[in-house]
Amino acid sequence: MTGTQENAVKGRLNLHVFLSSVESETRLFKEARYTLEQGIFDRVVVVGLWAKDLKRSEVTSYGLEIERLTVLIRRYGDAEILRRLPILRKVVAAISMLQFYSLAVRRARQLRPSHVSCHNLMLLPLAWTAARLSGSRLVYVPHELEARRAGLGTVMQKLHGMMERAFIKAASQVVVVCEPIAEWYRDRYGLANVHVVRNVPERDALELRKVSSGDFRHRFNISDDATVFIYQGLFGRARGTDRLLEIFSGLEPELCHLVLMGYGEGTDQLEVDEFVSRHSNIHHQPAVPREWIISYTSGADIGLIVVDNAPLSYRHSLPNKFFEYVHAGLPVLVSDNLQHLSEILEAGGIGWSVPYDEIRSKILELTRTRHTVYRERAREFASNAVWEADARVYETVYRS
Question: What's the whole-number mean pLDDT along residues 364-383?
Answer: 91
Q: Could you tell me what percent of the chain has a pLDDT over 70?
A: 97
- pTM, to two decimals: 0.88
Q: Residue 1 — very low, low, confident or very high, per pLDDT cuts 50/70/90?
A: very low
pLDDT at res. 4: 45
Question: What's the whole-number mean pLDDT along residues 165-183?
Answer: 96
Backbone angles phi, psi at 123, to 5 degrees: -100, 5
How many Å apart are CA 353 and CA 222, to the nearest integer?
A: 26
pLDDT, tens only, 192-243:
999 999 999 999 999 889 998 889 999 999 999 999 999 999 998 888 999 9
Beta strand pairing call for 194-196 and 43-49? unpaired
Contact 318, 177 (CB under 8 A): yes
Of 117, 99, 131, which is closest to residue 31 (Cα–Cα)? 117
**Distance set, CA 76 to CA 64, 81, 82, 86 (Å):** 28, 10, 8, 14
pLDDT, tens only, 115-165:
999 999 999 999 999 999 999 999 999 999 888 887 777 888 899 999 999
pLDDT at res. 11: 66
What contacts 35, CB < 8 A, 6 or more positions away? 14, 41, 44, 394, 398
Of 269, 284, 251, which is closest to residue 366 (Cα–Cα)? 251
Query: Residue 100 belongs to what H/E stretch?
Result: helix 86-111
Domains within the chain, CATH numbers bracketed: 3-200+389-399 (3.40.50.2000), 204-382 (3.40.50.2000)
Question: Which range (85-99, 141-155, 275-289) has the least confidence?
Answer: 141-155
How many Å apart are CA 137 and CA 399, to the nearest integer?
A: 11
Residue 388: count of CB within 10 angstroms of its CB = 15
Question: What's the whole-number mean pLDDT along residues 3-14?
Answer: 58
Beta strands in the chain (DSSP E): 13-17, 43-49, 57-59, 64-69, 115-118, 137-140, 173-176, 194-196, 227-234, 256-263, 282-286, 302-305, 332-335, 351-354
Q: Does the pLDDT at position 249 exceed 60?
A: yes
Residues in the chain: 400
**Distance set, CA 246 to CA 150, 208, 243, 251, 300 (Å):** 22, 32, 5, 9, 20
- List the Cα angle 69/72/73 in 5-degree steps: 100
Q: What is the DSSP string of 316-383?
A: T---HHHHHHHHTT--EEEETTSHHHHHHHHHHT-EEEE-GGGHHHHHHHHTTS--HHHHHHHHHHHT
Of 172, 178, 30, which is closest to residue 115 (Cα–Cα)? 172
Beta strand pairing call for 13-17 and 43-49? parallel
Beta strand pairing call for 332-335 and 13-17? unpaired
Q: Could you tell me what percent of the chain has a pLDDT over 90?
A: 80
How many Å apart are CA 143 and CA 319, to the nearest integer?
A: 10
- Bridge partners for 351 per DSSP: 332
SS3 state at 30 = helix
Backbone angles phi, psi at 47, to 5 degrees: -105, 120
Contact 367, 339 (CB under 8 A): no
Whole-number mean pLDDT of the chain?
Answer: 92
Buried/exposed 315-342: b ≥16 CB within 10 Å, e otherwise: bbbbbbbbbbbbbbbbbbbbbbbbbbbb
* 360 class by beta-carbon count within 10 Å (0-12 exposed, 13-18 middle, 19+ buried): middle
Count CA atoms within 13 Å of residue 120 on its CB side: 12
